[in-house]
């Protein structure tokens, strides 16, 4: 089986598994990450086979919807790639990217080390910014039964992944716990440039949100 055939089969498999997902971690999120990963990966001269596989499989089992198990996605992806007889080193590399890709709290050090991992992480983080990022915040919030906003509950800057996973707050607080921090945590030159514009959109949205909340507009 050629690399292009493996990617095509993987895309079809992931689409089938995630098309009806309603939390903002659906097939179209994965598709956008896949496209941005290809764009950034080519500029970074990364191994595109690894980049595409990791982008396609990065959300095959998001820990937020699997009891907090952040290893499940790597296990499922590794089993799938094993069935396609992908090289063991490639499977390990892709699995490590999936395990480390997620934002794990403001005080948690990024464990992504490889060029391919940095590319896919940037592509994933871009989809948490801008207009689409805002839509995904509230889609995920609804799935997790979070209120839109409660001015009495202030945001927490989490110092550990354990704290980040367990903390349950309103959706607006997620902007401060994660989204507004992303711009300065991008890995690649292309990713940083793309994130800057989307970051500004988040800030404008929040300013408008608070004015409407207080009835000033």
Write the pLDDT tens digit of every residue in 133-180: 999 999 989 888 899 999 998 887 766 666 665 667 889 999 998 999
How far is Cα 202 from Cα 101, in angstroms, rounded to an integer? 22
Q: Which residues contact 120 (CB under 8 A, 6 or more apart)?
A: 33, 37, 41, 51, 54, 55, 58, 97, 101
CATH code (residue 91): 1.10.3210.50
Structurally, how many domains does the chain consist of? 1
Q: Say how far apart CA 37 and CA 191 lie, in whole Å.
A: 9
The band of 208, judged by pLDDT with boundaries at 50, 70 and 90, is very high
- As a whole number of angstroms, the distance between CA 156 and CA 129 comes to 19
CA–CA gap between residue 40 and residue 123 (Å, rounded): 8
Mean pLDDT of the 170-191 span: 93
Bigger pLDDT: 107 vs 38: 38
CB 121 within 8 A of CB 40: no
Are 54 and 97 in contact, with CB atoms under 8 Å apart?
Answer: yes
Which pLDDT score, from 0 to 100, does residue 217 have? 85
Contact 57, 27 (CB under 8 A): no
pLDDT of 6-51, one tens digit each?
999 999 999 998 877 776 778 999 999 999 999 999 999 999 999 9
Domain range for 106: 3-213
Instruction: Please tell me the predicted confidence (pLDDT) of residue 150.
Output: 93
């Amino acid at each position: 089986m050629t690399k292009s055939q493996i990617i095509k089969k993987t895309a079809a498999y992931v689409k089938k598994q995630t098309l009806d997902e309603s939390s903002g971690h659906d097939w179209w999120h994965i598709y956008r990450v896949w496209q941005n990963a290809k764009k950034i990966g080519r500029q970074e001269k990364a191994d595109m086979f690894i980049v595409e596989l990791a982008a396609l499989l990065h959300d095959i089992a998001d820990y937020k919807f699997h009891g907090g198990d952040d290893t499940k996605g790597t296990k499922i992806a590794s089993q799938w790639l094993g069935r396609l007889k992908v090289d063991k080193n490639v499977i390990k590399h892709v699995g490590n990217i999936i395990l480390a890709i997620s934002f794990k709290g403001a005080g948690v050090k990024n464990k992504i080390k490889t060029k391919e991992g940095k590319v896919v992480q940037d592509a994933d983080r871009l989809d948490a910014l801008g207009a689409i990022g805002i839509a995904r915040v509230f889609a995920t919030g609804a799935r997790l039964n979070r209120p839109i906003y409660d001015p009495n509950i202030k945001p927490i800057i989490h110092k550990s992944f354990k704290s980040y996973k367990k903390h349950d707050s309103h959706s607006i607080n997620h902007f401060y716990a994660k989204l507004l921090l992303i711009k300065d945590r991008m890995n690649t030159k292309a990713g940083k440039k793309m994130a800057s514009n989307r970051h500004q959109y988040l800030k404008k949205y929040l300013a408008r949100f608070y004015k409407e909340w207080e009835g000033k507009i």
